[in-house]
Amino acid sequence: MLSTEGTKYSKNWPATYAIVEHKVVDEESQQWYWDEKNGSIRNGADPTFFLDNDFGWAMTADTANKSKSEHFPATPRKWFYDDEWSELTTEIDGVHTALATLGQPQNWEAV
């Protein structure tokens, strides 16, 4: 389940990392909302944090933060669902980019 960690690192880095973890039904950080008007995906834990990508890392970016890092867009990123590959995609600097995990996430009990 795609989630976001709650730690906000600094005012100059207006983002949190997106992580894969076990599903918890009532966990707001695992709830995502797609806006069909602009194609953005918002996280349930904070309405100003939107799914983003920074140098290949999945993030949630605070688009309301005016002291942005140059890496994040001023508006929420537009995402698409590719039904052939069953993945979320976006365009970054003219490159078609997919949101994916590297390797297989492990079961907590097995770690």
pLDDT (tens digit, 9 = 90+) per residue, 67-99? 656 666 678 889 999 889 888 899 988 888 888
pTM: 0.78
Query: Which residue, 53, 20, 56, 49, is CA-closest to 33?
Result: 49
Q: Are 38 and 78 in contact (CB under 8 A)?
A: yes
Place of tokens 């966990």: 27
3-state secondary structure of 72: coil
Q: Are 20 and 26 in contact (CB under 8 A)?
A: no
* Gap between the Cα atoms of 92 and 99, Å rounded: 12
pLDDT, tens digit (0-9, with 9 covering 90-100), for 11-32:
667 788 887 878 888 889 899 9
pLDDT top residue among 14 and 47? 47
